[in-house]
Amino acid sequence: MTSFKSQHVLIVGAGLAGSLLACSMARLGFRVTVAERRADPRRAGVLGGRSINLALSCRGITALRREGLDGQVLADAIAMRGRMLHDPSGTLTFQPYSANTADAINSVSRSKLNLAMLDAAAAFQNVRFRFDLRCVDVDSDAAAAEFRVEPTGETVTIEVDAIIGADGAFSAVRGAMQRTDRFDYSQTYLEHGFKELLIPPARECGVDPDEHDGFAMDPHALHIWPRGGSMMIALPNADRTFTCTIFWPFHGAHGFDAIDPDDAESVREFFTRRYPDAAAIMPTLEREYRINPVGSLVTVRCSPWQIGSRLVLVGDAAHAIVPFFGQGINAGFEDCRILVELIEQLGELPQAIERYAQVRTIDADAIADMALENFVEMRDTVGHEAFLYAKRIEQTLHAHMPDRVEPKYNLVSFSNIPYAQAKRRGEEFAALVGRVAEAVPLSESRALADDEWRARVIRHGERLLGLH
């Protein structure tokens, strides 16, 4: 294989994508500098505090596995095998993610994941981290980046063979690329924002600790409280807590501006009315609601992802998406895997950068669209009878013909097929499910025994696929 030893690569951003990529590039032999605007989280304890998690699925795990990091990351992960829907009266409905019970998404601690990536990268002798360096400009022709040293304000320039922007949704590297000719860029905010809240361990909120192994609710599900235009979700943490996230519009009756965070009584009253079962196990709700900030949700698209063959973007810097498919960092880690595989295949970094930018944009657009669509599904349709019925048909057909049909959720979360293909195949299958639901309607299904219903669904599905 080509030796990359003489080549120096600068990665801007030591977040999740930047530090994983540092591991891969170092393994290939590149000299790697990682410049990060924050202080070193391993020393400053910046990442401590609240438990914030994210859902890691097949694409992220595949990328981690390539670097031998999957075992360590998954050791603490909690598998979530489906959605647990909480209706306004507190009634629960479990919806498995897949007909295959082994399929699950994994709740992992965001800060632990970041520390694991940083430690893994720092273990390479050919990686150098430089913290407190904020990128302020990039010269794509010279592959040079200018930084402000955060504590002193002085300016530092780093010149290398190639620059990789892994500096997140508000990327300074992308900002510099935007000033070049024929660079397309769009940024769209949702009308909704988010705020994180907490459900403590069972013993702290009056739930029998033996019921769910110390958790206040079943930890092996992603909990959703769909409320039409708004929703709350909760993912489990290894410390037996759940991190809840409310996704509400900024304005309106169920919006952030309708509830004064300093009015503890109104906060409690609102949650007791709209999320009664959750409110009952959130003893610190009023405090959390008051002190935790409201974040905004943005979709960023840009093209091309590279300028020439010495400047390229990965992760949120290239494609920030809304979090409703749980794919942001899964897509970011997949970027890193694909770029590294191309370097290995082509044996040259410049060619790999150009090829990566060509093949990947279409997939990022597809997951950005699917993430937006999934918000409507999660906050609204997921609780409808017709939706649950379609899911039942979908899983019946998938279990019967796993090689022929696969739901979009599975293709996105439990496979590595390109997102654009997952979207197309998922839509085709959804259309087929719709036609089976017309042939075997929900109203008739109630009168059918399970076996008979299943046989009819399979017969219609096979016929529509032209199998008989």
Ligand X SMILES: Cc1cc2nc3c(=O)[nH]c(=O)nc-3n(C[C@H](O)[C@H](O)[C@H](O)COP(=O)(O)OP(=O)(O)OC[C@H]3O[C@@H](n4cnc5c(N)ncnc54)[C@H](O)[C@@H]3O)c2cc1C
Rounded Cα–Cα distance for residues 173 and 59 (Å): 25
148 binds ligand X (CB under 6 A): no
166 binds ligand X (CB under 6 A): yes
44 CB-near residues (< 8 Å, 6+ apart): 38
Selected range binding ligand X among 149-157, 309-317, 398-406, 451-459, rule: CB under 6 A: 309-317
Q: Figure out which of the listed residues 328, 418, 426, 461 binds ligand X, where binding follows CB under 6 A.
A: 328
Q: Figure out which of the listed residues 77, 113, 168, 375 binds ligand X, where binding follows CB under 6 A.
A: 168
Selected range binding ligand X among 161-169, 211-219, 349-357, 361-369, rule: CB under 6 A: 161-169
Count other Cβ atoms within 10 Å, centred on residue 350.
16
Q: Are 138 and 162 in contact (CB under 8 A)?
A: no
56 CB-near residues (< 8 Å, 6+ apart): 73, 74, 77, 105, 106, 107, 108, 113, 329, 330
Shortest CA distance to 422 belongs to which of 59, 84, 55?
59
Cis peptide bond prior to 304, omega within 30° of 0? yes
Closest approach of Cβ 312 to ligand X, in Å? 13
**Whose Cβ is closer to ligand X: residue 202's or residue 339's?**
339
Selected range binding ligand X among 14-22, 342-350, 399-407, 449-457, rule: CB under 6 A: 14-22
Q: Are 23 and 117 in contact (CB under 8 A)?
A: yes
Using a 10 angstrom Cβ sphere, with 0-12 exposed, 13-18 middle and 19 or more buried, the burial of residue 401 is middle
Q: Figure out which of the listed residues 12, 80, 117, 221 binds ligand X, where binding follows CB under 6 A.
A: 12
35 binds ligand X (CB under 6 A): yes
Q: Figure out which of the listed residues 134, 254, 268, 287 binds ligand X, where binding follows CB under 6 A.
A: 134
**Whose Cβ is closer to ligand X: residue 94's or residue 170's?**
170
Closest approach of Cβ 37 to ligand X, in Å? 4
Closest approach of Cβ 247 to ligand X, in Å? 8
**Whose Cβ is closer to ligand X: residue 62's or residue 351's?**
62
Binding-site residue total for ligand X (CB under 6 A)? 31
CA dihedral 368, 373, 379, 381 (to 10 degrees): -160
Q: Figure out which of the listed residues 72, 100, 245, 445 binds ligand X, where binding follows CB under 6 A.
A: 245
404 CB-near residues (< 8 Å, 6+ apart): 465
135 binds ligand X (CB under 6 A): yes
Which x/- pattern over 191-210 shows residues binding ligand X (rule: CB under 6 A)? ---x----------------
128 binds ligand X (CB under 6 A): no
165 binds ligand X (CB under 6 A): no
Coil, strand or helix at 338: helix
Closest approach of Cβ 439 to ligand X, in Å? 36
Rounded Cα–Cα distance for residues 254 and 136 (Å): 39
Both tokens of 428, joined, read 């085709």
Q: Which residues of 116-129 are buried (b: 16+ CB within 10 A; e: fewer)?
A: bbbebbbebebbbb
Residues that bind ligand X (CB under 6 A): 12-18, 35-38, 54-55, 134-135, 166-168, 172, 194, 245, 315-317, 323, 326-330, 332
